[in-house]
Amino acid sequence: MIKTSIMNGNTDQHQMDWIDWKREFALIFASDINKSSLVGKYKVDSVKLDSATKKIIYTATDVSLRTRLMEVTFKNNVVESVSIVNHSSNFLSTTHEELYYMTLQNYVLKSSVKNRFFGENEFSMLGQITKKEKQYF
């Protein structure tokens, strides 16, 4: 995998031979809306894009929820991509995240944090998945 990150305009790129996927996708896992406490807190729409592709859109009905929007696109009943928008705010800071995953191809994480006392920081990361099969030797 090739990881490219940008923090406040500074770019860095690395070839990664080993990936801890649980850590890599922590922001996506933290956006889980499949919890019993969230039943009825998301409006669900379904859109058929063509004969093989459909999109399910989950929109938060309560602005206090961190995950505001989730779009899951299926092609031939297999997840093709997931797009998530998270937003949270308190007295000291506001955080906005845009997360995108395209199955076995790449992912993009964009985050901006505005802090009342320390200004704003922006971070984005592109992970390009180059090997799709496990190598044993």
What is the number of domains present in the chain? 1
Contacts of 20-23 spanning 24+ positions with Cβ under 8 A? none
What is the pTM (predicted TM-score) of this model? Answer: 0.87
Q: What is the pLDDT of residue 135?
A: 57
pLDDT classification of 134: cutoffs 50, 70, 90: low
Q: Give the Cα separation of 3 and 126 in Å (integer).
A: 6
Q: Give the Cα separation of 101 and 94 in Å (integer).
A: 23
133 lies in some domain: no
136 lies in some domain: no
89 lies in some domain: yes
Radius of gyration (Cα) for the chain, nearest Å? Answer: 17
Q: Give the Cα separation of 8 and 21 in Å (integer).
A: 25
pLDDT single digits (tens) 49-75: 999 999 999 999 999 999 999 999 999
31 lies in some domain: yes
Tell me the residue range of the domain where 37 lies: 2-128
Q: Are 75 and 41 in contact (CB under 8 A)?
A: no
99 lies in some domain: yes
134 lies in some domain: no
